Amino acid sequence: MEYDQRIANEHKWSQRATTYDQKRFDYFRMMQRELITTSRIPSPPTFLDLGCGTGWAVCYVAKQFEGNGRFVGVDLANGMIERAKNNAEGVANTEFYQASADDLPFGEGSFETVICSNSFHHYPDPVKALREVRRVLRQNGRIHILDVTADDLFIRWIDASVRTREKEHVRFYSTQEYIDLFAQSGLLHIRSSQVKIWYPLKIHIAEKDNTHES
């Protein structure tokens, strides 16, 4: 059930918050850096990271723009948010909120850029989450999702295997499924591309376009 998955995710990732910044997880930072680079964030940024974890991406972007803009992270896990706030001490114009991706505490048109790295497969209601993203995006604002993408039988087998072991795992989606999810939520799919050598990671980009109403 959706409620159980939310509870499981909050518990799991709050527990992991104390170790998430260890060097052994540097490969996550490499992926996030690639995602941020391809996002081509406009200046001054209004930037939101869904499933922000301990806030690395938010702080990284804020430092790139020397604090000129608004840099926000949300995460379901309170432990991650507390850690993110500590990590962001002294980094200007950063904000962190404990919130679900499908119930964002922001007004309409608050952000130009939204990213989501390696967390979309945990969302119990992906269409509801994307509709929330669409709501908080400005006209022609974009969401950039980086995640394992189930475009072949091997990854679909892994996905099914993980689902039997981890109740907090919802599912990996194929490229076509991302296109369909974007369409269902009123977002315009722009492109999907593989992340360099990191098979099977892809970046899926969609835009808020008022000519494509949900």
CATH of the domain at 135: 3.40.50.150
User: Is residue 112, in this structure, part of any structural domain at all?
Assistant: yes
Inside any domain, residue 182: yes
By CB atoms closer than 10 A (0-12, 13-18, 19+), residue 40 is: exposed
Position 202 in a domain: no
Question: In the prediction, which pLDDT does 1 show?
Answer: 41
Count of all residues that appear for the chain in the document: 214
Query: Quick one: which of 164, 154, 160, 13 has its CA closest to 80?
Result: 13
**DSSP conformational letter for 149:** B
Average pLDDT, integer, range 64-93: 95
Q: Residue type for 172, please? A: F
Tens digit of each residue's pLDDT (9 = 90 or more) over 12-65 = 656 666 767 667 778 888 999 999 999 999 999 999 999 999 999 999 999 999
CA–CA gap between residue 205 and residue 4 (Å, rounded):
29
Question: Which domain range does residue 19 map to?
Answer: 2-197
Query: Is residue 209 assigned to a domain?
Result: no
Structure tokens at 98: 């404990």
Q: Is 87 left (phi over 0), alpha (psi -120 to 50) or beta?
A: alpha
**For residues 71 and 47, is the Cβ–Cβ distance under 8 A?**
yes
- Model-level pTM greater than 0.85? yes
| Position 210 in a domain | no
In the chain, the number of structural domains is 1
Q: Cα angle at 64 between 89 and 134, to 5 degrees?
A: 90
Judge whether 57 lies within some domain.
yes
Mean predicted confidence (pLDDT) in 171-182: 98
Residue 60 maps to a domain: yes
